Structure 1
Amino acid sequence: MDLVVKDLHELYEAMGLAVDSFDANSGFTIHFLQDTFTSLPFTSVPFRPNYFSFLFVGEAFGKYTIDDQQFTIQPGTVYFTNPGNYRIFEWQRIVDTCLITFNESYLKEYVHDDVYREFPYLLTETIEPQVLTAGQFAVIRNLYGEIYREYHGESPYKHQIVGSLTVALLLKIKEFFFQDYNPIYEGNRSSQIVKTFKLNLEHHVRDLVSGKTDKLLRVQDFADLQALHATYLSNVISSKTGKSISTWIADKLITEAKVLLQDPTLSVKEIAHRLGFLEASHFSNHFKKHTSLSPLSYRKAHLL
């Protein structure tokens, strides 16, 4: 049974690795693997993360398994994975390797509020390692070096600065590899179904937030959008991502709620209505169930 983890802090803690440098609540991490994996070789537990990750390999050797594909880790490459992928990593040698992880809430708040339109490659299920030229890697290294320094600095605008630098990093990756990339047509049928579902969910929640609709779609609705049987869609999503459709919907609503709660002009009742909840109390219960905080407590903590 593979481990489902919400962030890197949870994964490393489960494997007995140091987590002192991670803020478990920020939704973003950056660190150099040579500082963490000091006893090699090392093989991870099988896991499914609920976050995005970029691995920038300056010099390291090992293996990386994503779903049913295994890649050999080699210098000068970039590895990307998104939430839900089954994976295992094996490290034989690490000299210079940087890992960045972030969740969707962080993307929405600090990077771009329509991330999948601007960066469609974030939707893909499995991207083969991208080999950089020496010049390209130097550009990327400079960016993640700046992100590392800001993330571990003391600026009161740390996350805004990190978010802006992450935009630059994602744009450079797009420039180098994905200028005309459309993830929907990449991969097998199951992968295409998953990506289309994620895109449909993204568009639907944006319609909710913008007031274009006030009806929250259910499993059958998402199945109808792809002309699929609801049970088949549910089985594909669960088997490919390790999460049910209802969990994907719940997580997406929480992500949007966190962004909306940081707008002090919006009442909790208005936010609840925008997200398709008939009663503010239902929204509050849903939010607390998934975050352990009431909407007002979350707002207070993030408006300081």
Structure 2
Amino acid sequence: MVKNKTESIEEFYKRKFEWIPENIRNEIGHFNLFKVEPPVGGKRKPVPYQKRDYYKIMITKGESKVLYADQVVDVKGYALTFSNPQIPYKWDCLEGIEHGVFCVFNQEFFSQFGSINKYSVFQPGSSHIFTLNTEQAKTVFGIYERMFDEITSDYIHKYDVLRNLVFELIHLAMKMEPSAKYNKQHFDANKRISMLFMELLERQFPVDESHSKVELRTASDFADQLAVHVNHLNRAVKSVTGKTTTEVITSRILQESKILLTQSDWNVSEIAFALGFTEATHFNNFFKKHTNVSPTKFKSI
């Protein structure tokens, strides 16, 4: 069975440091900073492939690999990475990381300051890893230095300052993407319906012991859940994403199928059932249509 249940912020501390801060679930949310130091004995603890219920922003120098959903990204030189509760990830080849620094925080830390998920660096389908040149890396390390100064200070409003510094990191990364991509992001009715649809879709993943089967597979299924007409949903999704509702659903199921084929020990029939296919042959036909290879062959690659 696949073992990729969501890791809580408490489990992160137990895995990484074998201790848990007091009042980690306090009303203002949680925020903390850590340096990536050279590993003891030349080997770092492995980072498991799974979702987390917290956010993480990290800059590293060195070489490693990151598995985001079904994509493997080679990280070289300076890299700024954004991790969020919606997308599972795993770090490999950690011995190649020379040094770095990262911050972790939960949704509650921004609960009174809007939705952090609206920023592209935390959205599915957007860029989450940014290669930095020396000057950009210097700027990012400078932001983290200011974070360390603030978190150790006795200033009563220091967490407001820390939120602003997190926003600096977010906007620095977003400015590295083509600006046209972020222009005119109006939160109109279509945007709202499309976001609700995407949240409902993502809620079904990853497929594991706690989400054993995908139940919503068609545009009509989602329209019924959202209490809107299917044509209304289709228009909203198309206007925001440029894709049909069916195309978005298909892409996400295909992405999850690749993850399960490569990251779990389920056989093809078990994966077909978990993804909502009534017959393994239906899954075989679906997968081969979109990848030109059979699930069995893909699993063996």
TM superposition score normalised by structure 1: 0.55
Cα-to-partner distance string for 1:125-149 (whole Å, 9 max, x where unaligned): 4525211121111111111221122
Cα-to-partner distance string for 1:181-215 (whole Å, 9 max, x where unaligned): 359xxxxxxxxx996635799xxxxxxxxxxxxxx
Aligned residue identity for 2:89: R
Where in structure 2 are the equivalents of 1:101-116 lying within 5 Å? Answer: 101-109=104-112, 112-115=113-116
User: Which residue matches 1:10?
Assistant: 11
Report if the CA contact (8 A) 2:51-2:85 is conserved.
yes
Aligned residue identity for 2:153: G
User: Which residue matches 2:283?
Assistant: none
Aligned residue identity for 2:75: I
Q: Specify the structure having the higher radius of gyration (Cα).
A: 2
Match of 1:28 among 16, 19, 31: 31
Where in structure 2 are the equivalents of 1:1-304 lying within 5 Å? Answer: 1-7=3-9, 9-13=10-14, 15=15, 17-19=17-19, 24-25=24-25, 26-34=29-37, 37-39=39-41, 40-57=43-60, 59-90=61-92, 91-109=94-112, 112-115=113-116, 119-125=119-125, 127=127, 129-177=129-177, 179-182=179-182, 197-198=197-198, 219-221=225-227, 224=230, 226-227=233-234
How many residues are treated as equivalent by the alignment? 207
1:88, CA displacement in angstroms? 1.4
Q: Which runs of 5+ in 2 are unaligned?
A: 184-192, 202-222, 235-244, 258-301
Q: CA–CA distance in 2 between the matches of 1:20 and 1:125?
A: 33
1:67, CA displacement in angstroms? 0.8
Q: CA–CA distance in 1 between the matches of 2:131 and 2:109?
A: 27
Cα-to-partner distance string for 1:210-263 (whole Å, 9 max, x where unaligned): xxxxxxx9834379463469xx79x96xx69xxxxxxxxxxxxxxxxxxxxxxx
TM superposition score normalised by structure 2: 0.56
Q: CA–CA distance in 1 between the matches of 2:30 and 2:227?
A: 30
Identity %: 11
Report if the CA contact (8 A) 2:68-2:89 is conserved.
yes
Q: Which runs of 5+ in 1 are unaligned?
A: 184-192, 202-216, 241-304
**What CA RMSD, in Å, does the superposition of the two structures yield over aligned residues?**
3.9
